[in-house]
Structure 1
Amino acid sequence: MSISAVIPVKNRPSLIVQAIGSCLAQSRAPDEIIVVDDGSDDATPDIVKDLAAKESRIKLIRRENSGGAALARNLGAAQAEGRWLAFLDSDDRWHSDKLESQLALARQFPDAPAIFCGIRYDYATRKARIGIPKSVVSHADLTVSNVLASTSAAFVRKDRFEEVLGFDAALPNCEDWDLWLKLAKLGPLPVVQAPLVEYSFEATNKLSRDVTKLLRGHELVFARIAAECGSGRLSALHDLKRAELHIRVTGEVMKALRFIKSAVRQSPSGEVLRRSVHLMGLMTVHGARL
Structure 2
Amino acid sequence: MSQASNESIPERTAHASAQGLQRHVIRNRVSFLEQKIPAYASVLGIVGLLLLWEIICRLGLVPPLFLPAPTLILSDGWEMLSSGELHENILASLSRIIVGYGIGAVSGILIGLILGFSRWADAVLSPVVYSIYPIPKIALLPLIILWLGIGEAPKFTMIALGVFFPVVINTFSGVKNVDPIWIKAAVTFGSSHLNVIRKVILPGALPMIFAGLKLAAGTSLLLLVSAEMIAAQQGIGSMILHYGNLMITTKLMVGVLLLSLLGLLFNRGLQWLERKLLPWK
Tell me the TM-score normalized by structure 1: 0.22
Higher strand content, 1 or 2: 1
The structure with more radius of gyration: 2
Higher helix content, 1 or 2: 2
Tell me the TM-score normalized by structure 2: 0.22
